[in-house]
Chains A and B, each alone.
Chain A
């Protein structure tokens, strides 16, 4: 089944929260103006009833599908978005925005602070998943979309979908949280802390004020390497690398003898070119602060009419299936319409970006049936 690509797409920008109407953040601080970089695919119908908000993960951005004129790298979920695909752009209007705190066109620590004329760096306030969602709400309002047809995302994107369901239950018809959790576990926080420490331990970090001299490249590369280990599974690493050597023989030196080492270094140092170290700190912190467990998700007195499709992957040990099952448990207690799949995959947490066939079948059918109801 060959499906069409979206072709050339463009990033757009939306600015709001101009002083004095700055955005009040969960931390108590406020910030403004805020710019969100976003992309849209497909057309918003007249009733404005076919909008799907797609939320990206930790290192994702607004470029979810299609290609740019001068860069042929397709968006991060290109296989899922387009005519005839899971998020069918013949039917739906898909919106994807870079999160606040990010570094791909949305306001974040690397953006210029209008008060000083310099990058915010660590003057940027800490942000939460709820703040990200609040910023997205302004964007959705700017389209005059009353009710989203669906909010969907994997990993941190899934948290945003859950946050939307919790904060604005009347503004979405369905939510598809994938490979995600209601709260970060100590293990997840621990990984993120090691990730942050590796950035902050790099002398080039300069306590966050590095923008004139350049990034803490080594620290950020190591941080990303740790991340990549957690995205894969024991089995997928065995299949991809086994103990294969990069050269014919062991070097008996501290070089990257094994393919897995070469892969991590390549991924790590490639990441440095496209991601801001401070953004990585801010966003991992937002992940760690996330907690919608217990009554926080859907308050006791409330009933939800949102239809949920919860998806986990059996080999995902970073966001293991039991965390998705915890979401399902709460939804069962609320008698919410819930479909839950624990998909077979060997790819670990990466599966949500890779297991396109199963996800397509599931999400497409789920959305199609929602339309008919």
Chain B
């Protein structure tokens, strides 16, 4: 099991309503349904991935993330999941705000661009960093934005978003010391009053 999925599955409560934006092949949603009897809904654009979701018996809507949220009433879900998509979407602020409207809590997971290896690569080789969390060359990456843990914390404080919990992930375990330097991935639980 992916470590971030493990954390999310632990965090989500029994029978929760969950919306996963960019749910891919439905791996996380299946896990949440299986372990937490969660009532899950996915939104995904890729037709093959969607077929896989339907094979697993998941309910999934074909659509892009930016326009997928607008029709849901306020607080329709206990959790809205934005896992590993923040770096790929165009209107990040809009999507986060909409997710906070639609969900009671939002789980945001993203690769940390300020990881020490990334910094060193950029500093010493002068090349775009690549690592486990950022595995792409510049010319094939789906990522259109690069953000760091500190960036996200700044953003939340500027927008009056409450960070309820945060998890920082290294290669195999959680990082508690100097996360912006040592964590490869971050997972935030945010909410707004």
- A residues with CB within 8 A of B: 307, 325, 328-329, 332-333, 335, 337-344, 361-362, 365-366, 368-369, 372-373
Return the contact of A307 from the options B50, B56, B59 (Cβ within 8 A): B59
Q: A338-B59, A340-B63 are in contact. Are A333 and B50 (CB under 8 A)?
A: no
**Residue of A with least CB distance to B47:** A344
Q: Which residues of A contact B57 (CB under 8 A)?
A: 365, 368-369, 372-373
Query: Which B residues between 53 and 81 are near A, CB-CB below 8 angstroms?
Result: 54-63, 71-73, 76
B51 within 8 A of A: yes
A325 CA to B43 CA, complexed, in Å: 13
- B residues with CB within 8 A of A: 41, 47, 50-51, 54-63, 71-73, 76
Q: Which residues of B contact A333 (CB under 8 A)?
A: 71-73
Return the contact of B59 from the options A337, A342, A365, A372 (Cβ within 8 A): A337
18 A-B pairs within 8 Å (CB atoms) are namely: A328-B61, A329-B71, A332-B71, A333-B73, A337-B41, A338-B61, A339-B58, A340-B60, A341-B50, A342-B62, A343-B47, A365-B54, A365-B55, A365-B57, A366-B54, A369-B55, A369-B57, A372-B57
A366 CA to B57 CA, complexed, in Å: 7
**Residue of A with least CB distance to B57:** A369
A57 CA to B58 CA, complexed, in Å: 29
A373 CA to B50 CA, complexed, in Å: 19
9 additional A-B pairs beyond A339-B54, A368-B57, beta carbons within 8 Å, are: A328-B61, A328-B71, A332-B71, A337-B41, A340-B61, A340-B62, A342-B62, A369-B54, A373-B57
Inter-subunit contact B62/A341 (CB<8 Å) = yes
Min Cβ gap B4→A in Å is 25
Q: A332-B71, A333-B72 are in contact. Are A362 and B61 (CB under 8 A)?
A: no
Q: Which residues of B contact A332 (CB under 8 A)?
A: 61, 71-72
Inter-subunit contact A362/B59 (CB<8 Å) = no
Inter-subunit contact A335/B51 (CB<8 Å) = no
Min Cβ gap A95→B in Å is 24
Q: A338-B61, A343-B47, A344-B47 are in contact. Are A362 and B54 (CB under 8 A)?
A: yes
